[in-house]
Amino acid sequence: MTIAGESSAVPTFLASLNPQQLAAAMHGTAPLLIIAGAGTGKTTTLAHRVAWQVASGTDPASIMLLTFTRRAAAEMLRRVEQITSTLGAGEVRDTALVQKSAIRRICGGTFHSAASALLRRHGHLIGLHPDFTIMDRGDSEDLLNLARTELKLPKSENRFPLKGTCLDIYSRCINTQQELPRVLEQWFPWCLEHQSRLGELFNLYTETKERQRVLDFDDLLLFWNALAADESGARVFRQQFSRILVDEYQDTNVLQAQILKNLCPDGIGLTAVGDDAQSIYSFRAATVRNILDFPKDYPGTELIALEQNYRSTQKILDVTNCVIAEAAERHHKELWSTRGPGAVPRFVTCADEDAQCEHVIERILERREQGVALKQQAVLFRASHHSMTLEAALGRRNIPFVKYGGLRFLETAHVKDLISFLRLAENPLDSIAGFRILVLLPGIGQSKAARLLDQLRESEGRFDAWDGWGPPAALQDLWPQLLQLLRRLESRGRKGEGGVSADIHAVRQYYEPLLHSTYENAPARINDLKQLEAIAVRYESRQQFLTEMTLDPPASTQELPADPLLDEDFLILSTIHSAKGLEWDSVHVIHAADGNIPADMATGSAEEIEEERRLFYVAMTRARNHLTVLRPERYYFHNRHRSDQHSLSKITRFLPPKILSLMEQVSHGLTSSSGEAGAAGGLVKGDTAEIRRRIAKLWG
C-alpha cells in the first residue's frame, strides 16, 4: 500500500468505510464540508480522516480537532489512536507519527477548552494575564449581580432584568457579534427601556473581570478570536496548525465561525462536519447559517453527504426523511439503510395525558418482556415539565427511571463550595469564590465578607492581609484553619507539589463541618465530594482540573467513577435537546401536538418554526427499531371551581396527512365517537351526514 497521490489503491485501514466515508477520509487539503446525517457514522469518518492525515505525513501536533463535549473529543482521539496503532511501516510515511505519544499531541477538545489552553500559552500577545481563572455560569451571574448592586440599579422598578437575563443578553451580544440595541430588539424587547443602564452594567462587569483576572465562557471565545485576528497571534496559529477539523459545525455561533475564518482564511486544511437538519441550539446563539453558507464562505469547498444510516430501520427513515424534506432550506440528503424495513412507526392518539402515560408504560413493559432492556428505551419530550405526569405514573408502577436535562453535578451548592476553595487558592483576586467561602463561616455576613475581600484585593492577593483581622468567637478555630488551608493550597499550586485529589481531600476535611451545619442530607452530599476527589486523581494540575470541570462538567454523579444509586436497569426520560447524539432501540416521543411540538413560544418567525421542525426530526432519528409518536387529544385544566375544563389539541404541523400515511395510526382510551382517531389501523371515518342535517336546522 502507498499513500494517496502515489497510488489509487485503498489503504487497508480504510477498507471498512463506505464510498462516501472513504471519499471524505481521503480528501485533500481543500475546504471540506461533510454533511453527516443521523446515524451515518460521522465519528468513524472523522476519526479515519484524522488517521489518514497522520498516515500521509501530517504531524499530529499540527492537527486541531474541535468538538462540543469533552467526551466526544476523548472518544474521537481514542479511535484515532486505535486506528493508527494497526498501521504497518508500509502504510505510513513516518512511523514515528503514529506512535501513541505522537497521537496524544493532537490538540483535541471543545472550543472553550482549546481557547483556554491557547490563551494561557499565547494570550500575552494581546495583553492577557496567563494566570486567569474561569467562571461558570452561576459565578458569572453573581459577579453581574455585584456590579448591578455597585451601580445601584433598581431591582424592582420597571422590571429591570434579573441577573440571569442580564447574562443572557451579554452572552448573545458576544456570540452573535451584534450590538446591544439589535440584540434587545430581536430577543429581549421587554428590556429595551433599560438599554443605557445595561450598557453601564456590562462595562463594569468587564472591568471587574479584568481586575480580578477572571474570564467567563464568552471571554474565552472573544479573546481567542482577538488573538487569531492579531497579526502576531495569527502567525503563531498558522505555523502551529495546518489541519483543523470541526465536529457538529451546525452548532457553532457567529463568533466561533469568525475564529475559524481567522485561523483558515482560505479554508485550506479545514474540515467541517455536521448536519444542518440537526441544528437545534439557537437559544445558545448557534446559527444554522454557518453550515448552510459554508460553501459560500470558503470557495472551492467540496461537499460530501453521508447517507447510509447504520442506526435505524428503513421504515423509520422513510418517515424522518419526509419530515425534514419539508424544511425551507437544507443541504439535500436521503438517508437509507441496509438493516431491512423493520416495524412501521406508530402515531398514537390518546384520550388525554393519563391515557398517553398508560400507553407508554404498557408498550415499555411489553418491550421489556420481549428482551429490550429499559435502558434501551427512551421517552422524549420538548420541555422538561412535559414528563411530570409520566414521572408520577412510573413512580406508582415502581418503574425506575433517570431524567436528563436537570441540574448538572457541578451546579449543586456543596460542589460549588468545595470548588471555590481551589479557585481562591489558584487566584486570590477571584472575589466570587472568596465571597462564597466567607459567607459559609459563622459570624461573617455579606458586609464583613466584602471588607475582607477588599483587603485581599488591596494587598494584591496576599492572604497575609487577613492575619490582623480579629475573628468573632464562633471563628476562633475555623479562621486560623482557613488561613492555614489557603496558604497550603497556594504553596502547593505554586511549587507544583502533590496532586489535585490531595488538595480536595484537605478542603473536604475543613469543609465537612460547615456542610453539616449549612445543608440537609449531608451524607449524600459528602459522597458527591468523595466522588469528585476520586475523579481528580487523573488530573495533572489544579489549573487543568478547574478548567475542565468548569468548561465541560459531568452532568451527574453517574458520569463519575462510582456505581449509580439506581437499579441495574432503568428507563430513560429526556428532553429532545439532551437526547441529541444518543440512540435507543425503542423511542416514544410524547405530546406531539401544536403548542408543544412546536412549542407555542417558538412560532413567532419562520426561522423558529424551522428549528422546531429540526428538533422533532432529531427526536425521531434517535430510534433504532421502534418509533412511537403520541398526542393526547385533550388537555385538562383543574381548578377549585371546575375540574372538567379542557382544550382539544391539534396534531403537530410537522406530521401532515402525507407523512401520517407512512405511519400506523392507532388510538388509546378513545371512544368510537371521538372522531379523529379510533381503532388500531387508522383514523375512524364516520358518517357525517346526520351531523350536517342537524346543523342545517339551525338556519332552517
pLDDT of residue 391: 87
pLDDT of residue 149: 84
Mean pLDDT confidence for 181-197: 90
- In three-state form (DSSP H/G/I as H, E/B as E, the rest C), the secondary structure along 275-306 is CHHHCCCHHHCECCHHHHCHHHHCCCCEEEEE
Average pLDDT, the chain: 86
* Statement: residue 392 has pLDDT above 70: yes
Give the model confidence (pLDDT) of 468-485 as tens digits: 888 888 888 899 999 999
Q: Which residue has the cell 487577613?
A: 466
Residue 410 pLDDT level (bands cut at 50, 70, 90): low
* Statement: residue 653 has pLDDT above 90: yes
Mean pLDDT confidence for 148-168: 79
Q: Specify the pTM.
A: 0.79
d(CA 187, CA 283): 10
pLDDT of residue 196: 92
Name the percent of the chain lying above pLDDT 90: 57
Give the model confidence (pLDDT) of 655-696 as tens digits: 999 999 999 999 987 764 444 433 333 333 445 666 666 666
Mean pLDDT confidence for 528-536: 82
Mean pLDDT confidence for 332-349: 95
d(CA 569, CA 583): 16
Give the model confidence (pLDDT) of 452-461 as tens digits: 999 998 998 8
How many helices and strands in the chain, by DSSP H and E? 28, 17
Q: Which residue has the higher pLDDT, 224 or 190?
A: 224
Please provide the DSSP assignment of 116-145 as one string: HHHHHHHGGGGT--TT-EE--HHHHHHHHH
Other residues' Cβ atoms within 10 Å of the Cβ of residue 174: 22
* Statement: residue 564 has pLDDT above 50: no
pLDDT of residue 311: 96
* Statement: residue 303 has pLDDT above 90: yes
Angle at the Cα of 404 (from 400 to 407), degrees rounded to 5? 110
Least confident of 198-202, 218-222, 337-341, 645-649: 645-649
Phi, psi of 69 (to 5 degrees): -140, 155
pLDDT of residue 673: 44
Mean pLDDT confidence for 203-219: 93
Residue 523 pLDDT level (bands cut at 50, 70, 90): confident
C-alpha torsion 173→176→177→178, nearest 10: -60
Angle at which helix 431-438 crosses helix 137-150, to 10 degrees, equals: 90
Least confident of 55-64, 370-379, 596-605: 596-605
pLDDT of residue 22: 96
Which residue in 183, 196, 5 sits closest to 93, CA to CA?
5
Name the percent of the chain lying above pLDDT 70: 88
Mean pLDDT confidence for 110-136: 92
Angle at the Cα of 30 (from 42 to 25), degrees rounded to 5? 30
pLDDT of residue 89: 66
